[in-house]
Structure 1
Amino acid sequence: MEVIKSQKISMFEVLDYIYCPRIIYYEEVLKIFEKKMNDFKKAEEERLEEKGRINRKWIWERLKLRKQDIKNLSQWENKEFNKELDSEKYHFYGKIDEILYLQDGTIVPLYYHNSKYTAREENQYKYLMAMFSMLVEENYNINSQKGYILFLNGHSLKKFEYTEKDFKKIKQQISEILELIETERYPLEVEGGTKCRDCYYKKICGR
């Protein structure tokens, strides 16, 4: 079905859709999200506060950030902060904490995650960074096949790599989200189990 071409969604909505399509229905069709947005804003403020305490030089040295010589002084170069980017091709947007140019000639996104790494969230982390890389590729016209997350709880830095299969899945999910919003179709078939137990909308959902 043809979707509204001007519609753009947040990359975090894509993660929500992968978690459960009904989240998008509640938030984008029924507009039930005010309390959740307040909680999100509070969590984001806490994340930014913790992020400000991080020694970025330690990260850049580990990732081998490109350097240049200026008056015989070694200077860090080619790093961009808090870049708001959107994709005209795939109709989503996001804000990248840092875009880094590495010594090997690659460009990678870096995200500060306000949590501790957990293996069960591996796919969520991968898709998050893959979307950041899609934004980098489209806006900077360069391939970006990997990204990094610094988990603020525990200060662990992890690399995430992805394939064309991962990019294809994301594009398909975005297409489905835009169609859901356009048709206002209630998703009938959804996965249950532990996801429902932890869901923000469990009290109003029909499961």
Structure 2
Amino acid sequence: MNKGTQYITPSDVIQYLYCPRFIYFMHVLNIDQHEHRRYLVNKGRDMHVLKLVRNKDYLRKKIGVIDKLSDVYLSSDTNCLVGKMDEVLFLEDGSAAPLDYKYAFWDDRVHKTHIYQQCLYCILIEENFDVASHKAFIVYIRSKNHLETLSIGEKLKKNAMRMVDEIFNIINLGLFPDVKINLRKCEDCTYRNICVT
């Protein structure tokens, strides 16, 4: 699918994974979801800023970090992606990896949305720094900064780019996606009052 001149973010892919109709409402109808009104979203944004300031000169020696960049904005003209990473870590093995702070509790699993977000960050890192990026790190702030390491393989990257293509199909063709109704998700959805379920 021709992506045109529009760019999407890893956050768009997170929204797509939650429900593909988010993309339709946000990008086709241009209806904002007003998530800034949600307490945990705002608290998480505040914590991101605080962590970036506090950890400006801190290198994570235990994971083989030799250098890092903080608060990094990257774009890919090839894939029509843009993203802002909390940190890009340059590792002893010559690769680089994203590190993301989540204002969340570690609940013994990495959510699919977080995996694909980090995967797209790896793709952005590879294109912008011309280095391999095959792992990612997530810090769960509300669990005493629990650190999780993710392995990011080529199959995962292909799946992520397939989702990017599906998102551009919705946007460019104005498609209203069919979805499986999940009442738990629908009850908490910012579009619940306008979505035809």
TM range (shorter): 0.7 to 0.9
Are residues 43 and 23 of structure 1, via their aligned partners in 2, closer, same or farther at CA, if it must alter by over 3 Å? farther
Larger radius of gyration: 1
| TM-superposition CA deviations, 1:44-88 (whole Å, max 9, x none) | 54223441575567761222222xxxxxxxxxxx32111110112
User: Which residue among 151, 164, 167 is the counterpart of 2:154?
Assistant: 164
TM-aligned CA distance change 1:121 to 1:141, over 3 Å = same
Match of 2:117 in 1: 128
| Equivalent position SS for 2:79 | coil
Report the equivalent of 1:96: 85
Query: Which residue number corresponds to residue 72 of structure 1?
Result: none
Give the aligned partner of residue 85 of structure 1.
Answer: 74
Gaps spanning 5+ residues in structure 1: where? 67-77
Q: TM-score, normalised by structure 2?
A: 0.86
Q: Please state how far the C-alpha of 1:188 moved relative to its aligned partner.
A: 2.4
User: What one-letter code is carried by the residue in structure 2 that aligns with 1:141?
Assistant: D
SS where residue 13 of structure 1 aligns? Answer: helix
Determine the C-alpha separation between the residues in 2 that align with 1:5 and 1:129: 24
Aligned partner of residue 34 in structure 2, secondary structure: helix
Of 164, 171, 182, which aligns to 1:174?
164
- TM-score, normalised via structure 1 length: 0.83
Q: CA deviation at 1:4?
A: 4.0
Give the number of aligned pairs. 195
Once the 2 structures are TM-superposed, how far is the Cα of residue 6 of structure 1 from its aligned partner? 1.0
SS in 2 for 1:6: coil
Per-residue CA distance 1:159-195 (angstroms, 9 max, x = gap): 0112222111111111111111111111123342433
| In 2: Cα distance, 1:7 partner to 1:183 partner | 13
Q: Deviations over 1:123-170 (max 9, x none)?
A: 222111111111111111111110101111111011011222211111
Alignment of 1:1-207 (within 5 A): 2-33=1-32, 35-37=34-36, 39=38, 42-43=42-43, 45-52=45-52, 54=54, 60-66=60-66, 78-119=67-108, 121-154=110-143, 155-207=145-197
Distance 1:138 1:54, change over 3 A: same
8 Å CA contact 1:107, 1:144 repeated in 2 = yes
Say if 1:116 and 1:151, in contact at 8 Å, map to a contact too: yes
